[in-house]
Amino acid sequence: MLKRIEDWNYYELLSVERTASQDEIWEGYQAALSTYKDGSLALYGLVSEVERGLILERLQEAFQTLRDPDKRKEYNLALLRHAPYFPPQAPFRKSVGKLEIEEAPPRKTIWARLKRLFVKNP
Amino acid sequence: MDKRIWAIGGGKGGTGKSFIAANLGLHLASLDREVVLIDADLGAPNLHTLLGMKAAHPDLGDFLTGSLPSLEAAAVETPYKNLRLVRGSENILFIANLAHYRKLRLLRQVRQLPTQNVILDLGTGSSFNTLDFFLSANPGVVVTTPEPTSIENTYLFLKSCIMRVLKLYMDHYKIRDLHQKMLDQIEKNSQSLYGFFKSLMETDRSYGTILYRALRGFRPCLVMNKARDQEDALLGRSVADVVRKYLLIDMKYLGAVPFDEDVHDSLRALRPYYPDHRNSAAAKAIRQMSEELAYSIEFTLRTPPEVRLPDA
């Protein structure tokens, strides 16, 4: 879902599923720390220093909450009240491998529309 | 036939796009799969040199000028079994400024090639031609290196792709007045991509939905080339994560290709790298990448995982 960075929930912040184990949460936390550490190349040209500081604070908060089973349970309940959780689904749609735009039928010109209106058997 | 069209592109020159394209092709061909490599670097073609071949005709220019009836006729045999190559054109001035209808013809013919695997080696930069080739592939692979210049250009390239996708849809749905608004907002910083969609959702939810879906359908992959240590390899994962969060696109990290001095030696000897260094770490990374890419067919065709739309 389209979200502002401040609105990411703790799981999105650590890039883990809501069903993640404690180990996965630890790994996600370490990976996120390395992404947002001081002087991180991954942020070069895209994320400002202020934004980085904010995210680091939230990362700490996220990890403190999710590693404590009681706090995590409470947080999960609060999240569920806010938005339902759908686990990732299996693929079900086949694409034609084209840009949709290339496939779109050409728009009818005004002449074609008029012809349809006034000519009985175009 | 499950057709695979992969485009190897990126924002900066010298990151190893042609190296990755050539060696991916050589690896797939060694698995007894038919592969056509297309040197679509319109400004500076050199894929033939990486395969140890000389520039010659027929080439892509012969097809584009109409001297050849089809792209298939421009695909020449290489010294390697199952691998064919469409050489880049030497007529650079004409080709680099490709007319729109010629580009569409090329894209159509790429899809019609009677070969299961097609790999497009794209040029540097964000010209419309390069972006459209990249977007038409399934998936497009961005090659970057662990240097600030390269990372910066990767983000710029992805932003250009995003703008191109959105503009194509805006043109189609005749919502051109939005285009300038988007340019003004998005070019300022990454956060404003969110701001653009948010304000669009408030003013016109239906167009917002269309454009957001279009954006989520764009799912490129990332390769970190010339990685010298574990930290460089992890940097690729971080870049993909930042792209997912800040540019709102679902990017998959294919892995890192370790730096190897032998690449330079192979180039000097005019020999392709892969057949002579099958047991090297870089060759292993390329094999792994091709498996990931094959899997990513599923990945790219799957409906994007997050299709719920923001509340206005």
Burial of B35 (0-12, 13-18, 19+ CB in 10 A): buried
**How far is C-alpha B78 from the geometric centre of its chain's CA atoms?**
23
Q: Which of residues 90-109 of A touch B (CB under 8 A)?
A: 91-95, 97-102, 104, 107
Closest CA to B214 of B228, B230, B197: B197
> Which of these CATH numbers, 1.10.10.10, 3.40.710.10, 1.10.287.110, 3.40.50.620, describes A5-86?
1.10.287.110
Question: Mind listing the pLDDT tens digit for each residue in B263-295?
Answer: 999 999 999 999 999 999 999 999 999 888 877
- The dihedral of CA A81, A83, A84, A87: what is its sign? negative
Burial of B63 (0-12, 13-18, 19+ CB in 10 A): buried
> Which of these CATH numbers, 3.40.50.300, 3.30.70.3270, 1.10.3720.10, 3.60.15.10, describes B4-145+220-241+250-301?
3.40.50.300
B303·A98 Cβ contact <8 A? no
What pLDDT shows up at residue B296? 64
Closest CA to A1 of B194, B310, B196: B310
Among B10-19, B121-130, B150-159, B186-195, which is the least confidently predicted range? B186-195
Which residue, among B151, B152, B201, B247, would best test binding to A if mutated, counting the most A CBs under 10 Å from its CB? B151
pLDDT band at B304 (very low <50, low <70, confident <90, very high): very low
Which of the two residues, B215 and B85, has the higher pLDDT score?
A: B85
Token look-up 């749609």 returns A93
How distant is the Cα of A119 from the closest Cα of chain B, in angstroms?
28
What pLDDT shows up at residue B285? 94
Closest CA to B256 of B295, B298, B228: B228
Residues of B within 8 A of A37 (CB-CB) are: none
Read off the amino acid at residue B216.
R
Q: Using alpha carbons only, give the angle A95, A99, A100 rounded to the nearest 5 degrees.
A: 75
Question: Mind listing the pLDDT tens digit for each residue in B9-47?
Answer: 998 888 999 999 999 999 999 998 999 999 998 878 889
Domain ranges of chain A: 5-86
Q: Which two tokens stand for residue B145?
A: 């290196």
Asked if B55 and B91 touch (Cβ cutoff 8 Å), the reply is no
| Average pLDDT, integer, range B144-167 | 92
Question: Mind listing the pLDDT tens digit for each residue in A15-71?
Answer: 888 888 999 999 999 999 999 999 899 998 888 888 889 889 999 999 999 999 999
pLDDT band at B188 (very low <50, low <70, confident <90, very high): low
Q: Is the pLDDT reported for residue B246 higher than 60?
A: yes
What pLDDT shows up at residue B217? 83
Provide the number of CB pairs (under 8 Å) joining chain A to chain B. 104
Q: Is the pLDDT reported for residue A107 higher than 60?
A: no
Q: How many residues does chain A have?
A: 122
Asked if A50 has any chain B CB less than 8 Å from its own CB, the reply is no
Angstrom distances, CA of residue B113 to CA of B35, B52, B73, B75, B86: 10, 24, 10, 10, 12
What pLDDT shows up at residue A115? 67
Query: How many Å apart are CA B206 and CA B202, to the nearest integer?
Result: 10
Domain ranges of chain B: 4-145+220-241+250-301
pLDDT band at A109 (very low <50, low <70, confident <90, very high): low
Q: What is the CA radius of gyration of chain A?
A: 24
Q: Is the pLDDT reported for residue A105 higher than 60?
A: no
Helices (H) and strands (E) in chain A, counts: 6, 0
Average pLDDT in chain B: 85
Q: Is the pLDDT reported for residue B166 higher than 80?
A: yes
